[in-house]
């Protein structure tokens, strides 16, 4: 792509993450220059508020970049180069419903793991696919960088609904978040390492952490660092559930087989009883997000709109100070790698087709991939050990059945999927869960027969 300026549409413009993405685009303006950022959402009010905030932000920090907010697909997707897709079908209210229903039946309802991931997947698949159809109608060549959750299930669905579409890239920021922690603990710059890794999204293991310059593998040193617990006050500045996750990582790493480093999300699958015991049915992660991050972001947005400016208020910032916001910046790194054909390595979801020869051929595995103007080119992984293979085959079968259930409208397959899920694991419980979820998800799920 030899363009001077790009047009990006943020799909899910009304999200609490959008202000962070807009600031990230400001931070990246020299490397990845934009003429326009479009915010698209199906909820007019939130999207319009963030659009208003975005126009004030850009007028001060990035006047070359126009900001448009719209609920109209044609306006949103005509003539764009990239869509950054980060939708949450049913918003946090339905995330809370997923969690509460799961806990009522004695199991974990995390947004991507277990019963919660299933319920959310059944909402996300139709929503994501309908939007990509619109994108393809108005911009057949645009790159769709999708990080809508539950990403593993969404990736399996987009692979089937858009066969051969190499410009849809499914990616997640968790590996980047974990690697940033590794870099900090190793005392090396954050972008100086790259990973070797295999698994499904939110279900994988690091096998090497390589210094990009020297090739040195830091993994043995990291395992040594992780053999000690963190000081109690570490991560005290983030939400309690995430702080607990990073502390728990120490134990997971110490107990991880085959000398690997696990993804944080494995805590739900490998320490199910511990995680369940720490859930509070009256105050789940969705409640924490609604009372915390979401509320703070919208208060900030309202304040900026009321002041009509950031300059001279507590919301002003320097571009330097933005460089630390990793949640958003990996997506600009990815867009940059595509537009400048860098062949940098990212962990992305891509069809297995022999990358892991002893694992299902058609699975959307999360593995290191070179990224350039031709999209994703995966690196080889090789055979994986029996423990991981067993877990992953079970998870993949569950994910596949979930997508089948959604695309075919099959109650039977939905029931099989939930029964197979390691965090449900029982037919009676799966049926009770499914029936409650069907009731709660009217208007979001396809009809199941
Ligand atoms: C990580 C995951 C994402 C998830 C995000 C926020 O970054 O990779 O998939 O959406 O965390 O999770 P939260 O529980 O804070 O909403
Ligand atoms: Mn993720």
- Give CA separation, 172 vs 19, 69, 320, 331, in Å: 19, 25, 25, 9
| 273 occurs within a structural domain | no
% of the chain beyond a pLDDT of 70:
98
Range of the domain at 73: 6-170+284-316
Pocket test for ligand 1, best of 149, 197, 266, 326 (most atoms within 8 A of CB): 149
Q: Which atom of ligand 1 is nearest to the CA of 111?
A: 14
Please name the residue whose Cα sits nearest to atom 10 of ligand 1.
Answer: 149
| 19 occurs within a structural domain | yes
Q: Tokens 């990845």 belong to which residue?
A: 32
Residue 412 has pLDDT above 80, yes or no: yes
How many domains are there within the chain? 1
Measuring from each residue's beta carbon to the nearest atom of ligand 1, which residues come in under 6 Å? 149, 172-174, 177, 285, 289
Mean pLDDT taken over the chain: 96
Please name the residue whose Cα sits nearest to atom 2 of ligand 1.
Answer: 174
Six-digit token pair at 70? 């719209």
Position 327 scores a pLDDT of 59
Give ∠ CA 208-211-214 in degrees, rounded to 5. Answer: 120
Question: How many Å lie between the centroid of ligand 2 and the Cα of residue 398?
Answer: 18
Active site residue 404: no
Which band of pLDDT confidence, cut at 50, 70 and 90, is reported for residue 103? very high
Interstrand relation of 34-40 and 6-11 (parallel, antiparallel or unpaired): parallel
Could you tell me which residue, 380 or 2, shows the higher pLDDT?
A: 380
Position 330 scores a pLDDT of 87
Cα–Cα distance measured from residue 15 to residue 163, given in angstroms and rounded to the nearest whole number? 29
* Given 165, 173, 211, 217, the catalytic residue: 173
| 189 occurs within a structural domain | no
The pTM of this model reads 0.96
Instruction: Give the model confidence (pLDDT) of 265-306 as tens digits.
Output: 999 999 999 999 999 999 999 999 999 999 999 999 999 999
Strand partners, 36: 7, 66
Q: Which ligand is nearest to the CA of 176?
A: 1
Pocket test for ligand 1, best of 20, 111, 242 (most atoms within 8 A of CB): 111
Please name the residue whose Cα sits nearest to atom 5 of ligand 1.
Answer: 174
Q: Which of 330, 355, 324, 356 is nearest to 344 (CA)?
A: 330
| 210 occurs within a structural domain | no
Question: How many Å lie between the centroid of ligand 1 and the Cα of residue 112?
Answer: 9
Instruction: Give the model confidence (pLDDT) of 429-445 as tens digits.
Output: 999 999 999 999 999 99
Question: How many Å lie between the centroid of ligand 1 and the Cα of residue 364?
Answer: 20
Which band of pLDDT confidence, cut at 50, 70 and 90, is reported for residue 100? very high
Residue 1 has pLDDT above 90, yes or no: no
CATH code of the domain containing 59: 3.40.50.720
Q: What is residue 172's DSSP assignment?
A: -
Please name the residue whose Cα sits nearest to atom 6 of ligand 1.
Answer: 174
Pocket test for ligand 1, best of 201, 245, 289 (most atoms within 8 A of CB): 289
DSSP 267-333: HHHHSHHHHHHT--TTS-HHHHHIIIIIHHHHHHHHHHHHHT-STTSTT---TGGGGG-HHHHHHHH
User: Pseudo-torsion of CA 338, 340, 346, 352, nearest 10°?
Assistant: 50
Q: Residue 35 class from Cβ within 10 Å (0-12 exposed, 13-18 middle, 19+ buried)?
A: middle
Q: Which atom of ligand 1 is nearest to the CA of 151?
A: 9
Instruction: Give the model confidence (pLDDT) of 115-145 as tens digits.
Output: 999 999 999 999 999 999 999 999 999 999 9
| 228 occurs within a structural domain | no
Please name the residue whose Cα sits nearest to atom 15 of ligand 1.
Answer: 289
- Count other C-beta atoms under 10 Å from residue 237's C-beta: 7
Active site residue 173: yes
Please name the residue whose Cα sits nearest to atom 16 of ligand 1.
Answer: 289
* Given 265, 269, 330, 398, the catalytic residue: 265
Position 195 scores a pLDDT of 97
């Amino acid at each position: 792509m030899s363009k001077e300026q790009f047009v990006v549409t943020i799909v899910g413009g009304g999200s609490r993450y959008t202000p962070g993405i807009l600031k990230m685009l400001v931070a990246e303006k020299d490397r990845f220059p934009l003429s326009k950022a479009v915010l698209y959402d199906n909820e007019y009010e939130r999207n319009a508020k963030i659009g208003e905030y975005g126009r004030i932000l850009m007028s001060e920090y990035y006047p070359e970049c126009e900001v448009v907010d719209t609920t109209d697909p044609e306006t949103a997707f005509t003539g764009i180069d990239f869509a950054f897709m980060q939708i949450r079908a049913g918003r946090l209210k339905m995330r809370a419903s997923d969690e509460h229903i799961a806990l009522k039946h004695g199991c974990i309802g995390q947004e991507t793991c277990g019963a919660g991931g299933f319920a959310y997947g059944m909402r996300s698949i139709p929503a994501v696919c309908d939007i990509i159809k619109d994108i393809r109608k108005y911009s057949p060549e645009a790159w769709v960088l999708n990080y809508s959750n539950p990403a593993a299930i969404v990736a399996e669905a987009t692979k089937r609904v858009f066969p051969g579409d190499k410009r849809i890239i499914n990616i997640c920021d968790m590996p980047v978040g974990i690697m940033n922690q590794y870099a900090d603990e190793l005392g090396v710059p954050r972008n100086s390492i790259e990973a070797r890794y295999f698994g499904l999204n939110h279900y994988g293991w690091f096998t090497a952490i390589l210094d990009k310059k020297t090739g040195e593998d830091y993994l043995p040193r990291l395992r040594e660092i992780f053999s000690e617990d963190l000081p109690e006050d570490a991560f005290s500045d983030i939400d309690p559930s995430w702080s607990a996750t990073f502390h728990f990582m120490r134990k997971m790493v110490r107990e991880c087989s085959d000398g690997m480093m696990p993804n944080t999300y494995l805590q739900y699958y490998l320490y199910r009883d511990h995680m369940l015991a720490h859930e509070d049915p009256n105050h789940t992660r969705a409640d924490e997000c609604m009372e915390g991050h979401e509320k703070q972001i919208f208060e900030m947005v309202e304040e900026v709109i009321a002041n009509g400016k950031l300059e001279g208020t507590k919301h002003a910032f320097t571009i330097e100070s933005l460089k630390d916001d990793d949640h958003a910046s990996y997506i600009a790194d990815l867009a940059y790698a595509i537009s400048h054909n860098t062949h940098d390595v990212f962990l992305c979801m891509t069809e297995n087709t022999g990358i892991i020869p002893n694992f299902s051929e058609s699975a959307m595995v999360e593995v290191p991939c070179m990224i350039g103007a031709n999209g994703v080119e995966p690196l080889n992984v090789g055979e994986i050990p029996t423990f991981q293979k067993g877990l992953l085959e079970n998870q993949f079968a569950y994910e596949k059945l979930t997508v089948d259930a959604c695309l075919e409208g099959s109650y039977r397959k939905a029931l099989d999927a939930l029964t197979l899920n390691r965090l449900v694991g029982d037919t009676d419980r799966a049926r009770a869960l499914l029936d409650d979820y069907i009731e709660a998800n009217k208007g979001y799920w396809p009809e199941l027969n």
